[in-house]
Structure 1
């Protein structure tokens, strides 16, 4: 059986320690006149930098940094994967002193890591990074833990320019914007695994010096934009994000193999049906040929996109066959055939990349593999499983967007429903149908869900009609949608007034309850200005919970393995699953304290796979 992967076990596999000891040396950067090979780049660092070549010398230099209130930290690595690549240099800058460069290939890793753990574990010092997730991940796998407070200039700048086009956030971009000078990144992609050149050392020292200089103007820009509180939320979520990526999630290859075989069978069956209907020569992936084939069978349409075909499938069986083919084809090509390629060779797990500000609302985005795009079907999600001896604890927020909208709009009906534990969907269904809430059936509640979520962001009648059918399988005419809309806003007057106020307000900026901001280059839609406060506040709540999770889960053996929208998945030793479930629910439900004055509900389950979510 494959040994269970942990970050701790990885540290033992990486042979990074020990090297020849030599004298501690101080290296001066070249005089101004020497930098004529790159005249477009002014020298940023006019001071010498320190690069001790003995472990004892390195530890002495690290000791001198203790008690400093501000430390800028950067790393140079042999690659981009913290699980297989290694840190070559760790650069540390502090005001008024030359930057310290630690060559981890020429020093004893364990001794230097121990000294750095003492330094970076000091909660009295602010640690400044640019793209902190990257550096923290490499430091973690090297055995170095960083305690807050942390300030990430990249995340900070993303908050400042959120929503604006052409707003790059790389270190060189920030140097140009705030310090008014260019920064060469030519050495970034050079080989950091061999002997280090003078140019590489200068580059490393320059980067950490620029980072140190950026702290003041970027932190001032955060304060000026009234983003300090939300920046703190983002920074405090970093340890959870680092753990999330390093932990990864396990894919059951046997289950995936069975699913792949099943989907190939469904694909071939759908292909055969399509060819029987439209002829052997048809290219099912050609919209032009599909339009012609449908027209020959008397089915008139000018588009073959999914929503158009879905609206026609009940009337035309031929369309249903095309949709079955497309679903099976996409499942095979996009998911089952590609999933094995994401399995990490060292850990045997999939390690997606999570981007804290991947969406303008402040919600996470995910890549390599994008778990948010895995179909919400048991066959697919059942392939993601905990390691042997473990369970998944899966929790997500119940109706988080509607709860946030109730707080923002101060709608009295919605607030009362959530405070008294009523089912808002059932109440809406009663309004739409004229029935007593106790008499509402499952189909009518589904109708109400479509109306609640559709009208929350000012959807029009035609849009609501399409949304209800495509997202909830609920048929409603445009006339019915208009009637439902009128009844809905006559009942939820606070929501109606919030829509009006937002429509008459600032068309270029919107904020969440925690102050997260989105800007627009040109006048925005009402939908966008309603969406940001709700989705963004939900993101704030999720990230507050993530910031608290690592401490709450200490000594439980639980690992954070996935985040999908409002859902958190933990991998937990089987005997502690119920205990951790209680902890997770408590952390999630308390994350709105102080700004959400109605109960937040997190629904949790213990499961043997991702498909086991209740």
Structure 2
């Protein structure tokens, strides 16, 4: 369960004009006007302090015309040109905003409103709370239960009720309202003499623009005549004021919403700009930020903002460790060198022979570790001292290079030495690169990414971000050398001088950062870093390298059957709808479900643009009563399964190994859980027959068997331990069916009298409470009324008082210290625990309850991975780990070792808690020719 997160979107163009008219005229020493720039930057500063957020973007209008000019050539024709003293400010502002740590978007052919509308919709659909900072009334059409507007210049906040109170209409009527009035500033035609009061009156009477147009003949007087005259162009006006929410922004945001994670300001460059612009107060603060321990002029970190700290109770408590950044002193000079001659290389080898610890990094041709080719190696010996060995640059970029195979042969003994300790940034990737060159990288003793993950799991762990946050240093970025998007060049084409500076910096900063972050850890965190995360990285490397065997013929057969079933469902959908239509078009589906079929829309979720949503949750709510939504859901599910797995997996088989090699991301989820990608093996659906069937394609070669070991009800067992509830502990110690026992407690029955439906209720309650489910969520899950759900929860807590006490105790602890911990000391920060937003705070409290359970479960499975791998290795077994999926380990076992593995594996997994848990751990083991059989 993750804390509810927030996306903050800023209408930069709107604020630029408003700041221009509101601020006194200021100028820089060179005469450049700066008043509007100062106003916008000050607004951004206030926003970061007042509205804690995890993702953000500042959006500006692109130059030139956009798609609305094609619809209506006179669109904005009456707008005066940009004032001469505003133009240079508009040009410099986006880069200044970027330096402040805000992702900036300027998208051609559309307006900033459309970009914000699309991001707001995507954010809401991804479960984020969305705040749009603007002074533009058009944006009110975006407001819904996930999106609010704030105006920092007026202090106004608009949610759904706020929009009604201000404009007199609902957010979904704003477009009708604007179309009727028109907009003189944008030259959008409306109904002459129709002002806000008239528009509200008509919409109250007729509901929508379509309703007003349909009843135009009933409206008397001059304004009625004006309405009749305007009828032909009102649909155009409606389209002009409609903010698009479906733009394709993949080119600007290749990682989707994740591309908008908030970033640390680049203080060194800001200091230069503030000095140039004569922003003296900010200049002083920017310079101090490189050395200060805490505080953030523009909100560089989520916890640690002075505004957020001001909200914390003044009770003498200790602030979180992360607010005290102990930065090491930077070296006086940098000694970076490119190694291109035999003499330089010989000197490097002598230095390696005498070294005990180095920083290490590779430059390659690809982010795909299994296929990446080596371009160069960088090695750091101490802070500020590093070398770069180019080995695979194109001759035009690096005319002088050592021979690749010869150099690697001479470096191999040092790279494979356990004695020479190596530190880097995500060294698992570099291990793969060296393995591709037949070098087994050993002696890994530190990883800055993993150290950061231990110290501050809720923040970003990229090297650039860490260097700014912990060293106070700006970095040379990959994009600055190679570009981005379609025009990005290979690192092999980067000129040696620039490549060497970048590569040396990576090895140098990784070495410095790991030492700095390690110094922040307490004893528990240090043990977790050294005894869990670093060893797990080695297990993951081996699992990724092992890969899993895939049966292409099985997947091909499944694809054919899925394709036939998808076509069959399309025909059923056409029949149910009474006409053919595009099943993937939300607009067409909307029209058929709610207009043609007349399905009631009361209570259904709306999109950011005001229409009725046809997302999965809405269709599921309708599928109980109507056949078409059920058909659409099945069609979508099977189409996704086909495109994501049965069609895609065969394409991902490595040509050299004949196996699929996923990547396990170790530093992503704040709870410690691993994430699988390319392909994602953890998201294969198992609730449907078709989803489970995909696992049949994960097979063992001849002479081997797939073995699966899965922890049984691990989070409920952890709940029993953490809560200390005697009844729960007793049930697990006695090996009882915990859901049957809960049903017996809640319904007041003897366990043997509990029926299947009662057990289902109990199971929903057991797992629901772990994830912070309240009475409304339980009522929805069970299909019962809220009062009945409340009674179930009350009876549960009456029978398990320790659980209720644990939940209350944990929320109080989280509020006091800003984080909770797992059983083994993993610290899980809760940035929104003091949020002024009630929903965000409630989400943080739910996460506080769940995170120790999910986090402890993650710690246990990691311990199991280490212990199982060590046992396989120490006993010289040929069987190997090939997958980890949530609470499950999957092995490829040699047939002759099967009985031993099935006996020993559950024993090892049951003992990884070291006797800390008050209840026994149980791992259930199965085997088969494929993963589905084994599971």
Normalised TM-score (structure 1): 0.83
Distance of aligned partners of 1:222 and 1:59 in 2 relative to their CA distance in 1, 3 Å threshold: farther
Is the 8 Å Cα contact of residues 512 and 534 (structure 1) preserved in structure 2? yes
Q: 2:777 aligns with which of 463, 488, 500?
A: 463
Instruction: Specify the alignment match of 1:538 in structure 2.
Output: 857
- 1:52-451 aligned at under 5 Å gives the runs 61-62=348-349, 65=352, 68-95=355-382, 99=386, 101-102=388-389, 105-108=403-406, 111-112=409-410, 114-116=412-414, 119=417, 121-122=418-419, 126-147=421-442, 150-163=445-458, 167-186=459-478, 189=482, 191=490, 193=492, 197-223=496-522, 227-232=525-530, 233-295=532-594, 296-297=596-597, 299-301=599-601, 302=604, 303-376=613-686, 377-451=691-765
Q: How many Å separate the matches in 2 of 1:194 and 1:290?
A: 49
Distance of aligned partners of 1:102 and 1:551 in 2 relative to their CA distance in 1, 3 Å threshold: farther
Find the residue that maps to 1:227 and give its secondary structure.
helix
Shift of 1:476: 3.8
Matched, 1:562 2:862: no
Distance of aligned partners of 1:45 and 1:591 in 2 relative to their CA distance in 1, 3 Å threshold: farther
Larger CA deviation: 108-117 vs 386-395: 108-117
Is the 8 Å Cα contact of residues 481 and 498 (structure 2) preserved in structure 1? no
Larger CA deviation: 449-458 vs 343-352: 343-352
Q: How many Å separate the matches in 2 of 1:169 and 1:369?
A: 22
Q: 2:814 aligns with which of 506, 510, 514?
A: 506
1:432-481 Cα distance to aligned partner (Å, 9 max, x none)? 3332213334443333211100122331122013234xxxxxx4443332
Instruction: Specify the alignment match of 1:496 in structure 2.
Output: 804
Structure 1 segments unaligned to the other structure (5+ residues): 1-41, 469-474
Q: How many Å separate the matches in 2 of 1:43 and 1:97?
A: 6
Distance of aligned partners of 1:69 and 1:445 in 2 relative to their CA distance in 1, 3 Å threshold: farther
Is the 8 Å Cα contact of residues 820 and 852 (structure 2) preserved in structure 1? yes
Shift of 1:69: 4.2
1:380-427 Cα distance to aligned partner (Å, 9 max, x none)? 211221233321111111101111111111111112222222221120
Shift of 1:344: 2.5
Shift of 1:512: 1.2
1:228-285 Cα distance to aligned partner (Å, 9 max, x none)? 2332221110111111222222221111111111111211111111111212243323
Normalised TM-score (structure 2): 0.56
Matched, 1:599 2:929: no
Larger CA deviation: 548-557 vs 267-276: 548-557
Q: 1:551 aligns with which of 866, 870, 888?
A: 870
Shift of 1:556: 1.7
Distance of aligned partners of 1:613 and 1:310 in 2 relative to their CA distance in 1, 3 Å threshold: farther
Instruction: Specify the alignment match of 1:11 in structure 2.
Output: none
Find the residue that maps to 2:824 and give its secondary structure.
coil
Distance of aligned partners of 1:97 and 1:518 in 2 relative to their CA distance in 1, 3 Å threshold: closer
Bigger relative contact order (CA 8 A; separation at least 6): 1
1:24-62 Cα distance to aligned partner (Å, 9 max, x none)? xxxxxxxxxxxxxxxxxx9986336484855x9968854
Considering only aligned residues, what root-mean-square deviation do their CA atoms show, in Å?
3.0
Is the 8 Å Cα contact of residues 44 and 210 (structure 1) preserved in structure 2? no
Q: How many Å separate the matches in 1 of 2:474 and 2:580?
A: 58
Distance of aligned partners of 1:505 and 1:85 in 2 relative to their CA distance in 1, 3 Å threshold: closer
Q: 1:518 aligns with which of 811, 818, 828?
A: 828
Is the 8 Å Cα contact of residues 331 and 383 (structure 2) preserved in structure 1? no
Larger CA deviation: 62-71 vs 231-240: 62-71
Q: How many Å separate the matches in 2 of 1:514 and 1:315?
A: 48
Q: How many Å separate the matches in 1 of 2:767 and 2:643?
A: 32
Is the 8 Å Cα contact of residues 116 and 144 (structure 1) preserved in structure 2? no
Shift of 1:347: 2.5
1:313-355 Cα distance to aligned partner (Å, 9 max, x none)? 3433344333333333333333333333322233232222211
Distance of aligned partners of 1:198 and 1:287 in 2 relative to their CA distance in 1, 3 Å threshold: closer
Is the 8 Å Cα contact of residues 709 and 906 (structure 2) preserved in structure 1? yes
Matched, 1:529 2:848: yes
Is the 8 Å Cα contact of residues 553 and 580 (structure 1) preserved in structure 2? no
Largest Rg, 1 or 2: 2
